[in-house]
Each structure stands twice: as structure tokens, then as C-alpha cells.
Amino acid sequence: MKQKSDINKIGRSVNFKFIFKLMLFGMISTGLMATQAAAFEIITEEDMVQKTVMKEDFIKTADNVIVLMDTSQSMNHRWQKDATKSKLEAAKEVLTNGTRNLPDLGYNAALYEFSPFEALYPMGPLDKEKFVEAINSIKADAEGATFLPRALRNLEPVLQGASGKTVVFIFNDGTYSEMAGLKDPGDIATELAEKYNVCFYVIGENNSSMLAQKRLQDMAKANECSRLIPTAKYINNPQYNSGALYVVKTTSEVVTVSDMKAVGAKGVNILFDFDSVVIRPEYQAGLDQIGEFMQENPNSYVVLAGFADSVGDQEYNLGLSRRRAESAGAYLQENANIDADRIVVEWFGKLNPVADNSTPEGRRLNRRVESAVGFNE
């Protein structure tokens, strides 16, 4: 602990001007602290600072969102990235999260399951809560054949009636049932892309079948804006939605704001029994607050000032007040692991009383240690 004689050595590194302002309240004034020990109080001051404020604007890049969800039997198989889920469960999860995180930009939306083809949310203004309810209505146990070609053909009248750009999200594992008179899904997607303002985002993977994986890739080649995204990658990268449905424009602005910053703290007053240096239990919590504050602010330090009542001569009371301040410092070292170099000890004996020494109550209030926390400059 730095002692009174050490103050000049550290005067250039610590803000004693601030500390003396804090402790002026107790060391020099004789009436303001005469009733109770002050509670721990963080001292702040207003500081005008310049900050860079980042602003994000969402710009819509599509007008309509259509989801085709494969609910055929093959979607009951375990998802390769997480065996606790089926492919269908993983698809429902990613679609639910994507819907909830979608900014409200006035989209029209539709949700269709196929096998068989059924509208769970017919094309109309997007209500995210109702859309999630429609997702949850999809049965957990997928069954039946995969009529993907028919589902794509059934989209044509929907695309005809849509205004603006449409993005179709297809959740499929690359398997489908061939149907007489209908082309492969990749060919149908290409035809639709040539006729309408539409992009296909194919969400899925099939690592066990090269043919199934090729079918997914063929749908994703419908035009330049279409793509294939593995389910796991789509789950972990929500920015795929931002690329398909909106873009984020980020701008920055430097503004001057008022900021309250901590410049120190006024600690508790620790009172002592007659001729004692023992920290009484009721004052330990106050020292603990100081220790916690100093742990959170490693560039802080504490000044502990010891005092005595008027009983006895000044020489003895100087030593007694010093031992009281050192006792408080030792408590911070032992219980809060505060380094001794961060503790400044001062002692004043019977000087600067805060109460009348002619009464027992006044002498009790004068047997004290005052504390203040500051920051290194």
C-alpha cells in the first residue's frame, strides 16, 4: 500500500485533484457526514463525445415468395447433418426461422406442399405468424410419391397472376416420381424462368445419390439468378434470404452525443470501536463494493483516509488512524485481490472531525476511515 509519504511519488500518475474533491465532502466539512456512513456511490460526469452511428436500410429485391415443400415419403429419412431430425423436420425448421427473421417489406407469399399438391397458404400478403402456422400444419410423417414435376406445372397460373419478381424456394432431396407427359423438373423450371420473372432457390442435398444431386443442380440452372443451397448451409447462413429477397444498405453518420462516464466512486465510511482497528462485520459489504468496482475497473485506485476521536494525544491518534486505514487496505487485498500499489493510505489522527468530540455519539462518528476511488490519468 502506498502511504502518506508516498503521495508525491505518484502524484503524476493518479488524479489527486479529483480524489480531493471527493474526500472534501468528508474530510473538511464538519456536518454533512455526521449522522450515517455514506453509501457506495459511483461518480459520473457528462462527456460530449463523437460516435459513429451505423444505420441499416432493407431494400426489397423481390415482390413475391413461393415455397414448394416436398412432403413425400423420402423426406422421412434422417437428415445427414443431424440424425435426430428427418429431412422434413430440418426443412420446416429452416423455413420457420427464415420467415420470422424476414423484414416486413410488403411481400406476397404462398406455401404449397406436394405429394399431393396443396395450398397451405394461398398467394396473398405475407402475415408471418399465419405463415408459420401453415408451416407447422405440415404433417410430421411424410408419405406418398414425389410429384415434383406436377407441382412445378401447377405453379404456372400462380406465376401468371404475380406482379413483379418472384422467388420460388423448393425444398426437395432430389428424388421424384416420373410422370407420363411431364418433363424433368429441371426442364420445367427452365421453361418457367424463360416465361416469367422468377428465380429458383433449391434447398436440399442428396449425398447418397449422384442422380438425385444432379436433379437438384438442374433445377438450380434454370437461369442466372437461380441456385442450389445445401440445407445445412442455408440454416447457418440467413444472408441467403437477404440475397434473394432483400439487400441491406448500411450507412454511417458521425454524431455528437452526451455520454455519462464514471470518473470515480465515493465509498462507505467505516466506523471503529474505541481504540480498535478491527473492521466490523456491518462495514465489510461496503468494502466489498469498492473491491468489486476496482476489479471491474483495473485502472482505478482507492484512497483510504484514517481518523480518530479526540481521546488521547495526537501522536498516538496519528498511529491509530494510520492502522485503521491500513486495516481497510488489508481487507481489500485479502478479500478482493486488489494490488497494494492501487491502495493509497493517509492518516490524520484527531484532525478534521465530522462530529462533536464532547459527546459519545460524536466520538463514535469520528473514529472512521473514509474512502474514495479514482482513475489513473
> What pLDDT, on the 0 to 100 scale, is given for residue 3?
55
Please check whether the domain covering 4-40+267-375 is classified as CATH 3.30.1330.60: yes
Residues 6+ positions from 153 with CB-CB distance below 8 Å: 182, 188
Confidence band for 144, pLDDT divided at 50, 70 and 90: confident
In terms of Cα–Cα distance, which of 354, 359, 358 is closest to 367? 354
In this prediction, residues 166-176 reach a mean pLDDT of: 89
The string of DSSP codes covering 290-314 is HHHHHHH-TTEEEEEEE---SSS-H
Q: Where are the beta strands (DSSP E) in 204-290?
A: 227-229, 246-266, 270-271
Average pLDDT, the chain: 83
pLDDT for 13: 37
Indicate the pLDDT class of residue 209, thresholds 50, 70 and 90: confident
Which grid coordinates belong to 28? 473538511
Question: What is the tens place of the pLDDT at every residue in 317-365?
Answer: 999 999 999 999 999 999 999 999 999 899 999 988 999 999 999 999 9
The DSSP 8-state label assigned to residue 33 in this structure reads: T
CATH number listed for the domain at residues 58-250: 3.40.50.410
Residue 174 or residue 154, greater confidence: 154
For the chain, give every domain's residue range.
Answer: 4-40+267-375, 58-250
Tens-digit pLDDT profile for residues 97-112: 889 989 999 999 999 9
pLDDT tens digit sequence for 38-52: 466 776 666 566 777
Where residue 82 falls among pLDDT bands split at 50, 70, 90?
confident
Q: Is the pLDDT of residue 36 over 60?
A: no
Query: Which residue do the cell numbers 494525544 mark?
Result: 313
pLDDT at 184 over 80: yes
Q: Report, as an integer, the average pLDDT of 310-319.
A: 93
This prediction has a pTM of 0.55
- The owner of cell 478491527 is 278
Whether 77 shows a pLDDT value over 90: the answer reads no
Which contacts qualify for 282-286: CB closer than 8 Å, 24 or more apart? 283/37, 284/331, 284/335, 286/37, 286/39, 286/40
Q: What is the pLDDT of residues 185-206, one digit of tens each?
A: 999 999 999 999 999 999 887 6
- For the stretch 211-259, pLDDT in tens is 888 888 999 999 999 999 887 777 766 666 667 898 878 777 887 766 6
Q: What pLDDT, on a 0 to 100 scale, did the predictor assign at position 140?
A: 78
Q: How confident is the model at residue 307 (pLDDT cuts 50, 70, 90)?
A: very high
pLDDT of residue 287: 94
Of the pLDDT bands very low, low, confident and very high (cuts 50, 70, 90), residue 9 is very low
- The residue ranking higher by pLDDT, 115 or 164, is 164
Residues 14 and 374: beta-carbon distance below 8 Å: yes
Q: Are 194 and 222 in contact (CB under 8 A)?
A: no
Residue range 155-184: average pLDDT? 89
Is the confidence at residue 59, as pLDDT, over 50?
Answer: yes
Average pLDDT over residues 266-292: 92
Average pLDDT of the residues in 20-30: 41
279 within 8 A of 328, measured Cβ to Cβ: yes
Percent of the residues in the chain that have a pLDDT greater than 90, as a whole number: 49
Of 68-82, 227-241, 263-277, the poorest mean pLDDT is in: 227-241
- Amino acid occupying residue 114: F
d(CA 200, CA 187): 13
pLDDT of residue 367: 96
pLDDT for 180 beyond 80 = no
Residue 242: predicted pLDDT: 67
- φ/ψ of 280, rounded to 5, equals -75, 150
Closest CA to 325 of 32, 2, 43: 2
So what's the pLDDT on residue 86? 87
Question: Minimal CA–CA distance to 141: which of 81, 80, 92, 71?
Answer: 71
